[in-house]
């Protein structure tokens, strides 16, 4: 079956998983798996942009990933700055991809935050794919933050109880303004959500694959999109 370019999803999310096992299978350190994962993410984003997917939201580091050994966390926190520096022209200047980051901003190292803010600023007028990197992201944190904001608005008499509805909640999430999530992909053969986009996945299609993320190349991504196009989305109707 062919991919129908007139019917690509507007918003795809990926739980990028299996970098460590990919490295192990190649008898390499876990860090190499993360590096190859990052290269692959660049290729997937370019492909997604080329077929006019609007939004790609990628789980890169969860609020729970701080539990990992210090050495690995340190590697992951330093990777985006190094990576962006090295490929700045290739991924920022020469593409129309618009970068965003969502998640907590108060725990990540200053250098990482500065890099992420710089990339967001430099690409803010880009009109292609919106590529969102979820870093120190967790759905419990996101929803808790939303509840606090809404409670504060209520306390300040800015809203009444009747104003609290799904739209208000959606608008208080980090993904405010994003289109509904059409497709969620998880690589590496794990069948769980791991605290990712719990509110947003209400009517998303799920696609699980055994492939480790560094091997989940554009060609495999395309297979997921074709399968998505053949799903029957009913939203509770007939
Ligand atoms: C995904 O790969 C990247 C992050 C969660 C940071 P993993 O590091 O979870 O790889 P596995 O699951 O151990 O193989
Ligand atoms: C989920 O992967 C988080 C990210 C992909 C960033 P994990 O590898 O941390 O998830 P679990 O521990 O297998 O649920
Ligand atoms: Mg994992």
Question: Ligand 2 pocket: which of 13, 14, 16, 17 to mutate (most atoms <8 Å of CB)?
Answer: 17
Does pLDDT of 1 surpass 90? no
Question: Ligand 2 pocket: which of 20, 65, 68 to mutate (most atoms <8 Å of CB)?
Answer: 65
Element spanning 221, H or E: helix 218-229
17: annotated active-site residue: yes
> CB count, 10 Å around CB of 176?
10
44 C-beta closer than 6 A to ligand 1: no
137 C-beta closer than 6 A to ligand 2: no
* 3-state secondary structure (DSSP) of residue 189: coil
Q: Which of 6, 17, 19, 165 is catalytic?
A: 17
pLDDT in tens, 14-29: 999 999 999 999 999 9
The mean per-residue pLDDT over the stretch 76-90 comes to 97
Atom of ligand 2 nearest to the CA of 192: 14
Distances (CA, A) of 177 to 68, 122, 130, 180, 181: 32, 20, 12, 9, 12
What is the maximum span of the chain, computed from C-alpha positions, in angstroms?
59
19 C-beta closer than 6 A to ligand 1: yes
pLDDT in tens, 130-184: 999 999 999 999 999 999 999 999 999 999 999 999 999 999 999 999 999 999 9
172: annotated active-site residue: no
Q: What is the mean pLDDT of the chain?
A: 98
Task: Please name which of 82, 124, 78 lies closest in space to residue 101, comparing C-alpha atoms.
Answer: 124
- The phi-psi region of residue 177 (left if phi > 0; otherwise alpha if psi is between -120 and 50; otherwise beta) is left
Task: Please name which of 184, 179, 204, 203 lies closest in space to residue 194, comparing C-alpha atoms.
Answer: 184
| pLDDT in the model for residue 108 | 98
Percent of the chain at pLDDT above 90?
A: 100
What is the CA angle 203-208-214, rounded to 5? 125
The mean per-residue pLDDT over the stretch 93-102 comes to 98
What ranges in the chain are assigned the alpha helix state H?
A: 19-25, 30-50, 70-87, 110-122, 139-155, 166-171, 218-229
What is the separation of C-alpha 98 from the centre of its chain, rounded to a whole number of angstroms? 13
């Amino acid at each position: 079956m062919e991919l129908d370019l007139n019917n690509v999803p507007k918003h795809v999310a990926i739980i990028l998983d299996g970098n460590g096992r990919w490295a192990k299978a190649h008898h390499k350190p876990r860090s190499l798996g993360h590096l190859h994962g990052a290269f692959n993410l660049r290729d997937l984003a370019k492909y997604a942009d080329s077929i006019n997917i609007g939004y790609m939201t990628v789980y890169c580091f969860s609020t729970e990933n701080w539990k990992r050994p210090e050495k690995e966390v340190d590697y992951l926190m330093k990777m985006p700055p190094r990576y962006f520096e090295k490929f700045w022209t290739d991924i920022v200047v020469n593409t129309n991809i618009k970068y965003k980051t969502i998640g907590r901003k108060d725990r990540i190292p200053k250098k990482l935050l500065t890099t992420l803010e710089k990339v967001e600023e430099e690409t803010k007028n880009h009109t292609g794919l919106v590529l969102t990197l979820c870093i120190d992201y967790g759905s419990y944190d996101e929803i808790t933050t939303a509840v606090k904001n809404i409670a504060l608005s209520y306390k300040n008499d800015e809203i009444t109880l009747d104003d609290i509805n799904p739209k208000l909640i959606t608008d208080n999430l980090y993904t405010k303004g994003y289109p509904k999530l059409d497709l969620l992909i998880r690589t590496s053969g794990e069948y769980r959500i791991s605290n990712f986009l719990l509110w947003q996945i209400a009517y998303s299609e799920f696609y699980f694959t055994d492939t480790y993320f560094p091997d989940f190349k554009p060609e495999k991504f395309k297979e997921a999109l074709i399968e998505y196009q053949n799903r029957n989305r009913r939203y509770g109707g007939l």
